[in-house]
Amino acid sequence: MLVLSRKKDEKIVIGDSITLMVIEIRGDKVRLGIEAPRDVTVHREEVYEAIKRENTEEKKG
């Protein structure tokens, strides 16, 4: 795992087409802005896991 430190308004670039920007830092929460092509899905981890579970259940059912 690569660990980076960023301040407000600083960015991280992934490949040629994905950019993460620190929008706000408030207490123990960080707000991120994500720019990615439309064909790249972006989900919070808990949403991604729920989608995976749902897809697995549909295949079984």
Domain boundaries, the chain: 11-60
Largest CA distance in the chain: 47
pLDDT tens digits for range 10-36: 999 999 999 999 999 999 999 999 999
Residue-by-residue DSSP string for 22-60: EEEEETTEEEEEEE--TTS----HHHHHHHHHHHHHHHH
Q: Is the pLDDT of residue 61 over 80?
A: no
Cα-only R_g, the chain? 15
Q: Please give the Cα distance from 8 to 30 (Å, whole number).
A: 9
Looking at residue 59, its pLDDT comes to 84
Asked if 14 contacts 20 with a C-beta cutoff of 8 angstroms, the reply is yes
Lowest mean pLDDT among 3-7, 23-27, 48-52, 55-59: 55-59
What percent of the chain shows pLDDT beyond 70?
98
